Amino acid sequence: MRVVLYNIRYGTGTGWDYHLPLPFSGLFRRTETSLRRVSSFIDEIQPDIVGLVEVDGGSYRHGGESQARCLAEDLKLDHFFSCKYGRESIFRKLPILSSQGNAILSRVPAKRTSKIDLERGMKKTLLAAEFEEFVFLLVHLPLGLGARKAQLDHLTEIVRECRKPVLLGGDFNLVHGSAELSGFLSRTGLRDADPLERKTYPSRLPRFRLDFLLVGPNVIVRRFDVPDVRFSDHLPLICDFEVLPEEREGQ
């Protein structure tokens, strides 16, 4: 199977003009053209699961249409979207911000999907999709070190409770380096899917490794790639994997 992880920056693009005429003014640009490029890229690589971070759920930027739904219709995939802010957050009441979230798209049917609010931070949403053989979790961890640690502690409990092999991916915002994950990995049994630890941000000249895919013991990584695709300020991750059958007692 193939999974793609991509922080698409709400389809607002990248480049120096993103900050003209004012810093971050590109955040408010229309996104139809850029999203078509993202859709074509995803279509070319034919993934089974797509984890998208920073997706517009229906603001004026995309003509009031959900980017997750538009991509799912274009690619003939199922989709599950949620705002990335907690249920009680003030950001859910503000224009544009209330439409900002994450999404899981899938070619294979999910048995169930759910949204969980993690501990602390502005960005709290964990999306979970359970499939026949595994569970896929998608996160966008906060920039604050304390809030990120609290969310990783909460994620530890969630991963441990999963009865199927786990794939956990997303934008982890590890601006201080991946060593921050060592305790989390040892507690959960997850491991890094990219043996080369390639940097993913910014896409034009990557200096930081912010985007990760972590996999459980029964998940075998067959191929991992970080293509030089610049439709966002992040680079995408592509992973081909296989889930080994669980060993049963008495066999």
- Tens digit of pLDDT for each residue in 157-197? 999 999 999 999 999 999 888 889 999 999 999 999 999 99
Query: Residue 157: what residue type?
Result: E
- Give residue 122's pLDDT band: very low, low, confident or very high (50, 70, 90): confident
| Omega cis (within 30) before 202 | yes
Cα 24 to Cα 50: distance, rounded to the nearest angstrom: 27
CB distance 238 to 47 below 8 Å: yes
CA dihedral of 99, 11, 113, 170, whole degrees rounded to 10: -110
Q: How far is CA 91 from CA 36, 55, 124, 156, 195, in A?
A: 27, 15, 12, 27, 37
Is the model's pLDDT at 248 over the cut of 50?
no
Domain definitions of the chain by residue range: 2-243
Cα 246 to Cα 139: distance, rounded to the nearest angstrom: 26
pTM: 0.94
Cα 168 to Cα 44: distance, rounded to the nearest angstrom: 23
Q: What is the structure's pLDDT at 247? A: 54
User: What are residue 146's phi and psi, to 5 degrees?
Assistant: -65, -45
CB proximity list for 190: less than 8 A, separation 6 or greater: 159, 166, 168, 184, 214, 215, 216
Phi/psi zone of residue 183: left (φ > 0), alpha (ψ -120 to 50 degrees), beta? alpha
Q: Write the pLDDT tens digit of every residue in 43-91.
A: 999 999 999 999 999 999 999 999 999 999 999 999 999 999 888 888 8
Cα 24 to Cα 28: distance, rounded to the nearest angstrom: 8
Write the CATH number of the domain with boundaries 2-243. Answer: 3.60.10.10
- Give residue 18's pLDDT band: very low, low, confident or very high (50, 70, 90): confident
Q: What is the structure's pLDDT at 194? A: 97
